[in-house]
């Protein structure tokens, strides 16, 4: 297996990782990425195979688990009870409970509120150049997930800070300062949720937190720590992916020119899927091997990690014709933006709904929307999102 080198914090890579993906995908579907000290899967076929191969998973093998540094204890406690890093049978139980509470009916019921929210946000757009990422792309999913969970909307700014500090732990630019901020955020977030869950036990409402509590108390053995870990994961994932999906999509549409037919009822689903394929918000997901596995010309030993390059898979010419062309008229085909297999994102239907409602309203209300500055991507790999999106209406 060939060893390759590419700093994930190099400015040119951060702004456009796709040439790197294309160059190495053409050589081999699996190569050793030296900066991550693990093999990386570049092709659509390889990524899809690894997403669905149950010999690989997210949970660290028991013999490799450590307590971690003391200063990270609050963060690691939330991680230990997260659906994201669980495997069966724990994952099966957690996901079943979440999906029971996170029903399609509950998500669809948010449609009118999302539509009203979009119009309210646009009503407040200033006449001068402003950051659409902050004024719209962030607010739509953040306020929506707060309402779904049952968390007070006036807590949204604080929740956003906590979320950013926690999510920064997964970025290549992580530092010791990042770790301390994440631990502090996790401790504060956990403390807030403890008190809020206690309130909901005595004053149940028609919200996700109440439904998760009910599932716990119906004997499904969802612990309070698991309930807190689930709420933190849903808030983090529930807005981070949509913020950058919507932001990246609007950026691309404004740069390349947009067609109203893309936003029509018969075209919006294709537009959303093309946005997710063309410039997804998450570019890497990792897995552990649980046994000796011969796959893609490489022998994995138990405990070996492998990087699944979702952004590379979505630009594979063997899976998508003219993959570097942004074409919202192309037929919908499964992409890897939301992962796949056992860990397919539970929030994907909500993210798609928010884009399906939010994008047509934005361009209908602001048909003269234009970029006011060249957008730049944040140094946050393996996430892929903008620092800001300055526009005029």
The pLDDT tens digits of the residues spanning 114-161 come to 999 999 999 999 999 999 999 999 999 999 999 888 999 999 999 999
Q: What is the pLDDT of residue 67?
A: 82
pLDDT digits (tens, 9 = 90+) for 368-379: 999 999 999 999
The set of residues, in sequence order, having a beta carbon less than 8 Å from that of 89 and lying 6+ positions away, is none
pLDDT digits (tens, 9 = 90+) for 148-201: 889 999 999 999 999 999 999 989 889 999 999 999 999 999 999 999 999 999
Q: What is the pLDDT of residue 98?
A: 83
Residue 4 confidence class, pLDDT cut points 50, 70, 90: very high
State the average pLDDT over residues 226-230.
89
- Can you tell me the distance from the alpha carbon of 21 to that of 312, in angstroms, rounded to the nearest whole number? 5
Domains in the chain: boundaries: 3-392
Residue 221 confidence class, pLDDT cut points 50, 70, 90: low
Whether residue 146 contacts residue 231, with contact meaning beta carbons closer than 8 Å, is answered with no
The set of residues, in sequence order, having a beta carbon less than 8 Å from that of 301 and lying 6+ positions away, is 289, 292
Q: Is 257 left (phi over 0), alpha (psi -120 to 50) or beta?
A: left
Quote the DSSP letter at residue 247. H
pLDDT digits (tens, 9 = 90+) for 70-95: 999 999 988 888 888 899 988 988 88
Q: What is the pLDDT of residue 217?
A: 55
Whether residue 291 contacts residue 302, with contact meaning beta carbons closer than 8 Å, is answered with yes
Choose between 376 and 235: higher pLDDT: 376
User: Nearest Cα to 97, choosing from 389, 66, 89, 291?
Assistant: 89
- Average pLDDT of the chain is 93
Residue 220 clears pLDDT 70, i.e. is over it: no
Q: What is the pLDDT of residue 106?
A: 83
Q: What is the pLDDT of residue 223?
A: 83
User: Nearest Cα to 358, choosing from 99, 106, 101, 110?
Assistant: 110
- The token pair at 281 is 């918000």
User: Is the alpha carbon torsion for 350, 355, 358, 360 positive or negative?
Assistant: negative
Whether residue 51 contacts residue 339, with contact meaning beta carbons closer than 8 Å, is answered with yes
Whether residue 186 contacts residue 167, with contact meaning beta carbons closer than 8 Å, is answered with no
Q: What is the pLDDT of residue 248?
A: 98
What class is the 3-392 domain? mainly alpha
pLDDT digits (tens, 9 = 90+) for 244-285: 999 999 999 999 999 999 999 999 999 999 999 999 999 999
Residue 237 confidence class, pLDDT cut points 50, 70, 90: confident
Query: Percent of the chain scored above 90 by pLDDT?
Result: 75
Q: What is the pLDDT of residue 187?
A: 96
Residue 222 clears pLDDT 80, i.e. is over it: no
The set of residues, in sequence order, having a beta carbon less than 8 Å from that of 251 and lying 6+ positions away, is 279, 371, 375, 386, 389
- Can you tell me the distance from the alpha carbon of 310 to that of 223, in angstroms, rounded to the nearest whole number? 32
Residue 317 clears pLDDT 90, i.e. is over it: yes
pLDDT digits (tens, 9 = 90+) for 45-56: 999 999 999 999
Whether residue 370 contacts residue 392, with contact meaning beta carbons closer than 8 Å, is answered with yes
- Can you tell me the distance from the alpha carbon of 39 to that of 33, in angstroms, rounded to the nearest whole number? 6
State the average pLDDT over residues 298-325.
97
State the average pLDDT over residues 4-25.
97
Predicted model pTM: 0.94
């Amino acid at each position: 297996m060939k060893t390759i080198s590419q700093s994930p914090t190099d400015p040119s890579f951060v702004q456009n990782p796709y040439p790197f993906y294309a160059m190495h995908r053409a050589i081999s579907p699996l190569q050793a990425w030296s900066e991550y000290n693990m093999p990386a899967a570049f092709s659509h076929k390889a990524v899809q195979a690894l997403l669905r191969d149950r010999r690989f998973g997210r949970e660290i093998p028991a013999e490799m688990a450590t307590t971690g540094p003391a200063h990270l204890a609050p963060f690691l406690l939330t991680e230990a009870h997260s659906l994201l890093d669980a495997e069966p049978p724990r994952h099966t139980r957690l996901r079943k409970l979440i999906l029971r509470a996170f029903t399609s009916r509950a998500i669809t019921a948010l449609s009118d509120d999302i539509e009203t929210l979009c119009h309210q946000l646009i009503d407040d757009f200033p006449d001068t150049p402003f950051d659409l990422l902050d004024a719209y792309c962030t607010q739509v999913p953040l306020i929506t997930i707060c309402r779904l969970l049952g968390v007070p909307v006036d807590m949204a700014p604080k929740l956003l800070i906590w979320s950013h500090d926690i999510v920064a732990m997964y970025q290549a630019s992580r530092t010791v300062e990042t770790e301390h901020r994440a631990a502090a955020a996790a401790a504060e977030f956990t403390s807030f949720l403890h008190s809020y869950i206690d309130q909901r036990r005595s004053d149940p409402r028609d919200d996700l937190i109440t439904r998760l509590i009910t599932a716990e108390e119906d004997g499904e053995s969802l612990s309070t720590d698991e309930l807190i870990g689930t709420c933190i994961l849903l808030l983090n994932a529930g807005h981070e992916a949509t913020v950058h999906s919507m932001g990246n999509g609007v950026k691309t549409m404004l740069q390349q020119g947009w067609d109203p037919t893309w936003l029509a009822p018969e075209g919006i689903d294709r537009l959303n899927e093309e946005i997710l394929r063309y410039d997804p918000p998450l570019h890497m997901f990792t897995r552990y091997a649980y046994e000796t596995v011969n796959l893609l010309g490489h022998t994995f030993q138990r405990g070996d990690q492998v990087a699944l390059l979702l952004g590379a898979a979505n630009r594979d010419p063997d899976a998508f014709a003219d993959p570097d062309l942004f074409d919202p008229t192309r037929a919908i085909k499964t992409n890897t933006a939301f992962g796949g297999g056992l860990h397919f994102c539970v929030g994907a239907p909500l993210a798609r709904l928010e884009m399906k409602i939010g994008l047509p309203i934005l361009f209908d209300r602001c048909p003269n929307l234009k970029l006011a500055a060249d957008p730049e991507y944040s140094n946050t790999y393996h996430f892929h999102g903008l620092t800001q999106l300055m526009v005029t209406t």
